[in-house]
């Protein structure tokens, strides 16, 4: 039995590793199929700006970064792979000599902070409201919130962001949008000071608020329908017949069980936190990984793109495995059912 | 006596089913039953009429209209007025004309993407479920693979490789990214149906894969497929506009996405006067997407007779 479990976990991990490798390889070649390459962009820049000859510029660029556009792609792939095995993501092609790993570590915290905070807020609020909606079904709260959730769920996140800026910011002047762009205010020393933390929260407000609005409707509606089906279960009727106080019933019996299907989703969502949202971060000039990826794509910074894609793929795969294991851990019924619980 | 009552019940039930599933009256009634769904239907219809018949009535203004500069004004932007119900944009052009002419290509591309995705997903899902074995493994692995790569960044990269001088290329690209979800559902459905008696009977009669898929399997999940197609259209539209938004696809005016892009470029995000140029496409996109989502509720009732009777 123990052997079996171990082999199941082992198989999942191996499968995950293969997926990561496949995504890495696929993106590696895909990225190099993009028209234009970083060296050529730099060479053109030198020719235009400093009036160098094509050859001169080419030599200059060759000394600047160790990327040779004429090297066969497959050789580049082998080089990259051998570096990767030693946990070396290489150096950025455009901001010369900055290790990609360092760059990712610089942008990742911003994305983790903003998207993670939004996920936490949207999930907890959505679950609470969804539970209340199902419990007082047909009431005022349910009717108002169902309309709200359906509407907000249907509108794309960047449309919400634009409306926030235009209506709440520019027209009504409720939010000082101009001050809130970027990650933090220049001149405030980073550190564990109240001032800096408040500043971080202030700048994260717009993206976080947008993410919350864009996702909370989904959580509310899912929780509502999950709660409604839980309320119909026999064990709820039994608990009620036993004369348990409604409050305990709602939290310990209904709430916990209704949340089960949402936990898997939550775990999967966590995987997508890392990628952030390229478009929202670009719109609010938030210095996260998503915006950095858009910039890297524009500059054809192969190694940076490669590194970011790899990090995203790893987090998605890991969170999928986590979701798998989490479900079995949270719901003993799945565990007892043996290892056929996953597809 | 009881036997005749039974027969009558069966007969009346049969006629009810027939009437509901084949008659247009039943469809209309199902459409009307869900209020939110009907509202969505009206919304979708509104945008379809606006973007197909509208261009016949309202001429397109593509060239800058400097003559509309009002005395003393610093820019050509104008708020809504009687002649221009949605105001003027940065070049003094009528915003309404851009809304009317700019929705068609976008909606059509999204529709093409939705149809293509559905075809690919159903074909692959049916193949995986019915054939099983090696083919199933390959298709499932491919779907897992696509689901692991974050869609939008991948689309950003692909958008630079595939050039979008034609709509179909864009639609195809979106189909390649979107098929896995529906494919999984079709595959699962096929797997569970495969052991049902009537499908086994069809197999035993050697009716062929095509017949089994189209006659036995698909009718059972038509409601799911249609709703999924609407959601694919919605997400296709989301991605197309997002690409334009970041200025990554060379697209031409008139287009709702381009209106947002140009509006953003021209600083109308911080200029209160310029709000209408951005607000109009933003609201159009929001309302169209909302209508699509609401519409799916009615579609579920139209295509799922069980749901209709069960109310």
Which pLDDT tens digit goes with each residue over B15-48? 445 544 555 666 677 677 777 888 888 999 999 9
Contact A150 B260 (CB under 8 A): no
- Residue B158 reports pLDDT greater than 80: yes
The percent of residues in chain A predicted with pLDDT above 70, rounded, is 87
Q: What is the least distance, in Å, from the CA of A193 to any CA of chain B?
A: 32
SS3 of residue A99 by DSSP: strand
Domains of chain B: which residue ranges? 59-294
Domain count, chain A: 1
Specify the CATH number for the domain of residue A216: 1.10.3720
Please state the pTM of the whole predicted model: 0.81
Q: What is the secondary structure of B80-98 as a DSSP string?
A: --SSSTT-B-TTS-BHHHH
- Residue A105 reports pLDDT greater than 90: no
Average pLDDT, chain B: 77
pLDDT in the model for residue B307: 55
Euclidean distance between CA atoms A3 and A5, whole angstroms = 6
Domain membership of residue A169 (yes or no) is yes
pLDDT in the model for residue A306: 86
Average pLDDT, chain A: 80
Q: What is the least distance, in Å, from the CA of B201 to any CA of chain A?
A: 27
Domain membership of residue A38 (yes or no) is no
- Residue B152 reports pLDDT greater than 60: yes
Q: Which residue has the tokens 């069809």?
A: B202
Euclidean distance between CA atoms B214 and B119, whole angstroms = 12
The DSSP letter of residue A53 is -
- Residue A150 touches chain B, beta carbons under 8 Å: yes
Euclidean distance between CA atoms A163 and B275, whole angstroms = 10
Q: What is the least distance, in Å, from the CA of B26 to any CA of chain A?
A: 26
**Between A88 and A77, the higher pLDDT residue:** A77
Q: Are B91 and B65 in contact (CB under 8 A)?
A: yes
- What angle is formed at CA B105 by the lines to CA B104 and CA B106, rounded to 5 degrees? 90
The token duo for B211 is 């017949």
- Name the pLDDT band for A127 (thresholds 50, 70, 90): very high
Q: Which residue has the tokens 């996953």?
A: A342
Find the residue in A nearest to B260 (Cα).
Answer: A162
Chain B environment of A178 (Cβ under 8 Å): 270
- Name the pLDDT band for A338 (thresholds 50, 70, 90): very low
Domain membership of residue A207 (yes or no) is yes
Domain membership of residue A335 (yes or no) is no
Contact B290 A313 (CB under 8 A): no
pLDDT in the model for residue B161: 77
Select the residue from B148, B160, B231 to test the A interface by mutation, using most A Cβ atoms within 10 A: B148
Enclosing H/E stretch for A320 = helix A302-330
- Residue B24 touches chain A, beta carbons under 8 Å: no
Chain A environment of B246 (Cβ under 8 Å): 278-279, 282, 294
- Residue B243 reports pLDDT greater than 70: yes
Domain residues for the domain of A256 are 105-302+309-328
The DSSP letter of residue A190 is P
Contact A170 B148 (CB under 8 A): no
Q: What is the least distance, in Å, from the CA of A123 to any CA of chain B?
A: 21
The pLDDT tens digits for A134-148 are: 888 888 888 899 889
Find the residue in A nearest to B295 (Cα).
Answer: A154
- Residue A317 reports pLDDT greater than 60: yes
- Name the pLDDT band for A339 (thresholds 50, 70, 90): very low
- Residue A245 reports pLDDT greater than 80: yes
Q: Provide, for chain A, the percentages of residues in helix, strand and coil under a 3-state DSSP scheme, each rounded to the nearest 5.
A: 80, 0, 20
- Name the pLDDT band for A223 (thresholds 50, 70, 90): very high
pLDDT in the model for residue B68: 66
**Between A178 and A264, the higher pLDDT residue:** A264
- What residues have CB less than 8 Å from A16, skipping those under 6 apart? A317, A318, A320, A321
Mean pLDDT of B70-85: 69
Contact B270 A293 (CB under 8 A): no
Question: Which residue in the set B153, B271, B275 is minimally distant from A275, CB to CB?
Answer: B153
pLDDT in the model for residue B270: 67
Contact B156 A297 (CB under 8 A): yes
pLDDT in the model for residue B251: 63
Domain membership of residue A190 (yes or no) is yes
Cα–Cα distance list, A321 to A19, A341, A342 (Å): 12, 13, 11
CB atoms within 10 A of CB A316: 24
Between positions 200 and 239 of B, the ones with CB within 8 A of A are 234, 238
The token duo for A167 is 């209506």
The token duo for B101 is 């002419």
Find the residue in A nearest to B291 (Cα).
Answer: A154
Mean pLDDT of A208-234: 89
Hey, which CATH number is domain B59-294, 1.10.3720.10, 1.10.730.10, 3.20.20.70, 3.30.70.260? Answer: 1.10.3720.10
- Residue B270 touches chain A, beta carbons under 8 Å: yes
Enclosing H/E stretch for A295 = helix A289-299
Q: What is the least distance, in Å, from the CA of B14 to any CA of chain A?
A: 31
Find the residue in A nearest to B246 (Cα).
Answer: A279
- Residue B310 reports pLDDT greater than 50: no
Mean pLDDT of A285-305: 85
Q: What ipTM was predicted for this assembly? A: 0.79
Q: Which residue has the tokens 């050697």?
A: B206
Mean pLDDT of B68-91: 70
pLDDT in the model for residue A64: 65
The token duo for B31 is 């459409």
pLDDT in the model for residue A340: 44
Question: Which residue in the set A34, A153, A162 is minimally distant from B160, CB to CB?
Answer: A34
Domain membership of residue A250 (yes or no) is yes
Euclidean distance between CA atoms B6 and B13, whole angstroms = 10
Q: Are A152 and B268 in contact (CB under 8 A)?
A: no
Query: Which segments of chain B does DSSP mark as H helices, in order?
Result: 2-22, 24-33, 35-52, 54-57, 95-131, 133-148, 151-161, 167-194, 197-204, 209-211, 222-245, 256-265, 275-303, 305-310
Q: Which residue has the tokens 């099983």?
A: B132
Mean pLDDT of A208-235: 89
CB atoms within 10 A of CB B168: 12
Cα–Cα distance list, B266 to A163, A282, B170, B185, B281 (Å): 17, 16, 27, 45, 15
């Amino acid at each position: 039995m123990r052997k079996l479990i171990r082999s199941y976990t082992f198989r999942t991990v191996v499968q995950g590793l293969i997926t990561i490798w496949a995504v890495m390889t696929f993106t590696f070649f895909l990225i190099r199929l993009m028209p234009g390459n970083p060296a050529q962009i730099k060479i053109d820049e030198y020719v235009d700006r400093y009036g160098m000859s094509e050859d001169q510029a080419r030599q200059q660029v060759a000394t600047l970064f160790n990327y040779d556009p004429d090297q066969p792609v497959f050789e580049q792939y082998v080089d990259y792979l051998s570096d990767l095995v030693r946990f070396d993501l290489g150096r950025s092609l455009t901001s010369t000599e900055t290790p990609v790993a360092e760059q990712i570590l610089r942008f990742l915290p911003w994305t983790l902070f903003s998207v993670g905070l939004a996920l936490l807020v949207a999930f907890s609020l959505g679950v609470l409201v969804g539970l209340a909606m199902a419990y007082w079904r047909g009431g005022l709260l349910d009717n108002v919130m169902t309309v709200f959730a359906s509407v907000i769920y249907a509108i794309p996140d960047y449309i919400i962001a634009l409306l926030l800026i235009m209506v709440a910011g520019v027209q009504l002047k409720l939010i000082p949008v101009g001050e809130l762009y970027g990650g933090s205010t220049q001149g405030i020393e980073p550190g564990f000071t109240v001032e800096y933390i408040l500043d971080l929260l202030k700048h994260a407000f717009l993206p976080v608020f947008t993410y919350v609005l864009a996702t909370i409707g989904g959580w509310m509606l899912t929780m509502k329908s999950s709660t409604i089906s839980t309320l119909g279960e026999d064990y709820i009727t039994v608990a009620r017949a036993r004369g348990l106080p409604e409050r305990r019933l709602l939290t310990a019996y209904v709430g916990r069980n209704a949340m089960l299907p949402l936990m898997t989703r939550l775990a999967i969502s966590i995987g997508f936190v890392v990628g952030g949202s390229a478009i929202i971060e670009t719109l609010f000039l938030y210095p996260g990984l998503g915006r950095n990826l858009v910039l890297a794509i524009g500059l054809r910074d192969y190694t940076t793109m490669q590194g970011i894609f790899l990090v995203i793929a790893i987090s998605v795969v890991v969170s999928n495995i986590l979701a798998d294991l989490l479900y079995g851990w949270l719901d003993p019924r799945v565990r007892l059912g043996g290892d056929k619980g996953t597809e | 006596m009881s036997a005749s009552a039974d027969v009558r019940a069966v007969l009346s039930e049969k006629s009810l089913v027939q009437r509901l599933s084949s008659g247009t009256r039943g469809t209309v009634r199902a459409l009307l039953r869900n209020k939110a769904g009907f509202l969505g239907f009206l919304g979708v219809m509104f945008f379809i009429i606006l973007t197909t018949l509208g261009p016949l009535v309202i001429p397109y203004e593509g060239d800058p209209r400097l003559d509309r500069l009002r005395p003393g004004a610093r820019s050509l932007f104008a708020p809504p007025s009687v002649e221009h119900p949605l105001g003027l944009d940065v070049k003094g052009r009528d915003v309404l004309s851009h809304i009317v002419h700019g929705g068609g290509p976008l909606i059509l591309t999204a529709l093409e993407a939705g149809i293509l995705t559905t075809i690919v997903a159903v074909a692959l899902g049916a193949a995986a479920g019915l054939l099983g074995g090696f083919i199933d493994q390959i298709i499932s692995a491919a779907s897992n693979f696509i689901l692991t790569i974050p869609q939008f960044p991948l689309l950003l990269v692909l958008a630079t490789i595939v050039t979008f001088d034609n709509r179909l290329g864009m639609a195809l690209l979106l189909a390649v990214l979107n098929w896995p979800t529906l494919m999984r559902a079709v595959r699962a459905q096929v797997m569970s149906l495969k052991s049902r008696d009537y499908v086994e009977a069809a197999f035993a009669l050697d009716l062929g894969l095509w017949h089994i898929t189209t006659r036995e399997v698909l009718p059972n999940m038509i409601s799911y497929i249609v709703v999924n197609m609407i959601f694919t259209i919605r997400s296709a539209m989301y991605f197309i506009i997002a690409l334009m938004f970041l200025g990554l696809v060379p697209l031409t005016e008139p287009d709702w996405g381009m209106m947002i892009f140009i509006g953003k470029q021209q600083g109308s995000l911080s200029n209160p006067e310029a709000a209408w140029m951005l607000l109009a496409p933003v609201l159009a996109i929001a309302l169209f997407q909302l209508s699509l989502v609401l519409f799916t509720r009615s579609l579920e009732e139209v295509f799922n007779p069980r749901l209709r009777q069960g109310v």
